[in-house]
C-alpha cells in the first residue's frame, strides 16, 4: 500500500518534518505536483485547522491556504473571533492533485481518494504529535472521513464538539464545511454564515 511512513522522521520538530516531507514519495501524487505543501503556523497552536489538499496557488507558493479558499477562511476565522496567527493550518494530503482538460490549460483540483489520504496520514499524525493542539477544526467531508472513518457525515456533526481518537490520540474536534464549498455554493452568504457559526463553536470550546 502507498504510505508516507518510511519518510517520516521519528525525531525532530516541525522544521525537521517539513524538510523530510519535501522529499516524500509515499504515493504517486508527488509526481505531477510542483512541491510538498506542508502545514504552517504556530508550533504549539491551540487549534489545528485541517483542509483537504493544496490547491493551485498553494502548489505554486508552497504554503497551505494562500489562495481564494484561504482568503475566505482567514476572514471567517476573524469573524468567529479566532486569530489565524494563533492557529496551525495543514491539509490531509500534502500534494496538489489535479487534472487538465488540455495541455497548458488551467489545473483543476481533484478530490483525493481514501487511499491517498491514508497514505499521507503519517504526516498529519506527526504534526499532531508535535503541535499537540487542544482542538482540530475539520474542514469538510473528505477530511472528516480521513480522520474519523467513512461513516463520517459532515451535515450531521458540523458545529458540534466531538471527542474521538485521531491517530491514536484522544482529540476534541469541531467539523465544518470546506471553505472551497462556500466559494462554490449557490447561496454563498448563507454558506459563509454557516461556516462562521461553526467556527464560533470552536472558539467557544477553546474558551
Read off the C-alpha cell for 65.
Answer: 491556504
Chosen from ligand URA, ligand SF4, none, partner binding at 38 (C-beta under 5 to 8 Å by type): none
Using rule CB under 6 A, residue 95 touches ligand SF4: yes
Using rule CB under 6 A, residue 27 touches ligand SF4: yes
Chosen from ligand SF4, ligand URA, none, partner binding at 203 (C-beta under 5 to 8 Å by type): none
Segment 79-98, which members bind ligand URA (CB under 6 A)? 91
Applying CB under 6 A, which part among 51-59, 99-107, 125-133, 183-191 lies near ligand URA? 51-59
What angle, rounded to 10 degrees, do the helices at 188-206 and 68-79 form?
60
Largest CA distance in the chain: 50
Q: How many CA atoms lie within 13 A of 131 on its CB side?
A: 30
Using rule CB under 6 A, residue 36 touches ligand SF4: yes
Nearest-10 Cα torsion for 39, 44, 49, 52: 30
Using rule CB under 6 A, residue 69 touches ligand URA: yes
Q: Which residues pair with 162 in a beta bridge?
A: 173
Size of the site for ligand URA (CB under 6 A): 13
Amino acid at each position: 500500500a502507498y504510505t508516507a511512513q518510511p519518510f517520516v522522521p521519528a525525531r525532530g520538530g516541525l522544521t525537521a518534518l517539513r524538510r523530510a516531507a519535501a522529499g516524500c514519495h509515499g504515493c504517486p501524487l508527488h509526481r505531477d505536483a510542483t512541491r510538498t505543501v506542508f502545514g504552517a503556523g504556530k508550533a504549539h497552536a491551540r487549534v489545528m485547522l485541517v483542509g483537504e489538499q493544496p490547491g493551485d496557488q498553494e502548489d505554486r507558493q508552497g504554503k497551505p491556504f494562500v489562495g481564494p479558499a484561504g482568503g475566505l477562511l482567514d476572514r471567517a476565522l476573524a469573524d468567529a473571533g479566532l486569530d489565524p496567527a494563533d492557529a496551525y493550518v495543514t491539509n490531509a494530503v500534502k500534494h496538489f492533485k489535479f487534472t487538465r482538460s488540455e495541455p497548458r490549460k488551467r489545473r483543476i483540483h481533484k478530490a483525493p481518494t481514501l487511499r491517498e489520504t491514508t497514505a499521507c496520514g503519517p504526516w498529519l499524525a506527526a504534526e499532531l504529535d508535535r503541535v499537540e493542539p487542544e482542538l482540530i477544526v475539520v474542514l469538510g467531508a473528505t477530511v472528516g472521513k480521513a480522520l474519523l472513518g467513512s461513516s463520517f457525515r459532515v451535515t450531521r456533526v458540523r458545529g458540534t464538539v466531538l471527542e474521538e481518537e485521531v491517530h491514536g490520540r484522544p482529540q476534541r474536534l469541531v467539523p465544518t464545511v470546506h471553505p472551497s464549498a462556500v466559494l462554490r455554493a449557490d447561496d454563498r452568504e448563507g454558506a459563509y454564515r454557516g461556516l462562521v457559526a461553526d467556527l464560533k463553536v470552536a472558539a467557544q470550546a477553546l474558551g
